[in-house]
């Protein structure tokens, strides 16, 4: 059987996209990764009809489909023969079209409703949050590795995204000249401020902010951390893209999260959106964002595994404006 030519694949993709609902799906799936039920809610169509359109787009290579436990996600193709066409079509769609504008409004409502539920859940667990994060291994083991990474890198500044009670600022603050933690939960931030004050970390502060829209300038931090945050995100790559945006040349990005697993109850009991991540998925995102991945650290727990993924932004590391930071015993 002869393989299809590039022209034939292009024609297949154009034919698959040449339908109003499928163009709308392309536009929506360019904004993150979504389940069928969420897409049904946005489009206002039946699940069988939406599923059929998704199948056609996936078979043409315009969407990526991946199963994670009992959930199936769809997102615009980022690689493969249909990726370039999917991107081109998404850029050609008229933003002022009333139907596409309505889809964006409904999508925003779906996203905000989910985030509000998660924020309420966080607020109700602020006091015991540091324990909640220790799902796979004891926090001390993760913190030991992070201390070694920061003792070697010696970054001038740190941004901790989804800082919670400020634990990462307490652990890594002694290695940097200034540090900022951001979070959406006001109760978490109140605890973080109290913890930082108690620790005497006057160069560390926290701020209320959305990890998808950081109120920070480009290239403004020498290091960025996301500790057990990405599995709550409806669009992990978008969060990483924002982290990359504020990372200065030569800067260090560190992601601590769970390795891919099958614990379905974490979706309902702890509001996890994703059941962990694979090394391939994380390193692919790093590469797409122009980051140079480093070997990950894997920390095995009794049931789950924590992974510390890290990457460097290309470019010359700016001169540090301080003499060496105190070293913390790992």
Indicate whether 71 pLDDT > 90: no
Question: Could you report the per-residue pLDDT of 118-152, keeping only the tens digit for each?
Answer: 666 555 554 554 455 556 567 788 999 999 999 99
Contact (Cβ atoms closer than 8 angstroms) between residue 129 and residue 122: yes
Between 12 and 296, where is the model more confident? 296
93 and 165, same domain (yes or no): no
Give the chain's domain count: 2
pLDDT at 7: 84
Helix residue ranges per DSSP H, 124-208: 129-133, 139-153, 167-172, 186-199
139 and 263, same domain (yes or no): yes
Q: Which residues share a beta bridge with 73?
A: 35, 66
Question: Could you report the per-residue pLDDT of 174-215, keeping only the tens digit for each?
Answer: 999 999 999 988 888 878 888 888 888 889 988 889 999 999
Domain that holds residue 19: 6-122
pLDDT band at 295 (very low <50, low <70, confident <90, very high): very high
Span of 33-37, 42-46, 122-126, 128-132 with lowest mean pLDDT: 128-132
205 and 96, same domain (yes or no): no
Question: Which CATH number fits the domain that encloses residue 251?
Answer: 3.40.50.150
Output the CA–CA distances (angstroms, integers) from residue 25 to 101, 105, 129, 208, in the order listed. Answer: 13, 14, 37, 32
148 and 243, same domain (yes or no): yes
Among 90, 122, 154, identify where a domain stops: 122
Note the pTM of the prediction, 2 decimals: 0.66
78 and 156, same domain (yes or no): no
Share of the chain above pLDDT 70, in %: 87
């Amino acid at each position: 059987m002869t393989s299809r030519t590039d022209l034939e694949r292009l024609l297949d993709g154009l034919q698959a996209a040449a339908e109003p609902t499928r163009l709308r799906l392309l536009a929506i799936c360019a904004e993150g990764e979504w389940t069928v039920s969420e897409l049904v809610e946005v489009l206002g169509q039946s699940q069988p009809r939406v599923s059929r359109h998704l199948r056609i787009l996936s078979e043409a290579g315009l969407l990526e489909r991946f199963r994670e436990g009992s959930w199936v996600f769809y997102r615009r193709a980022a690689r493969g023969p249909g990726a370039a066409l999917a991107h081109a079509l998404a850029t050609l769609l008229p933003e002022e079209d009333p139907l596409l504008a309505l889809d964006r409004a409904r999508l925003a409502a779906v996203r905000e409703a989910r985030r509000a539920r998660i924020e309420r859940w966080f607020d109700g667990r602020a006091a015991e949050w540091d324990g909640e994060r220790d799902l796979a291994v004891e926090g001390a083991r993760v913190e030991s590795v992070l201390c070694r990474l920061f003792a070697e890198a010696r970054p001038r500044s740190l941004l901790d995204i989804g800082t919670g009670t400020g634990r990462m600022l307490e652990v890594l603050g002694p290695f940097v000249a200034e540090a900022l933690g951001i979070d959406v939960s006001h109760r978490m931030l109140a605890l973080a401020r109290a913890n930082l004050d108690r620790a005497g970390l006057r160069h560390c502060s926290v701020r209320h902010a959305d990890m998808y829209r950081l109120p920070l300038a480009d290239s403004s931090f020498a290091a960025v951390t996301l500790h057990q945050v990405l599995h709550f995100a409806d669009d992990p790559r978008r969060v990483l893209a924002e982290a990359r945006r504020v990372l200065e040349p030569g800067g260090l990005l560190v992601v601590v999260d769970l390795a891919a697993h099958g614990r379905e109850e974490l979706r309902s009991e702890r509001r996890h959106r994703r059941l962990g991540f694979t090394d391939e998925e994380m390193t692919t995102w790093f590469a797409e964002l122009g980051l140079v991945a480093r070997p990950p650290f894997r920390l095995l727990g009794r049931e789950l595994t924590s992974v510390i993924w890290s990457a460097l932004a290309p470019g010359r590391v700016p001169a540090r404006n301080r003499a060496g930071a105190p070293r913390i015993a790992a």
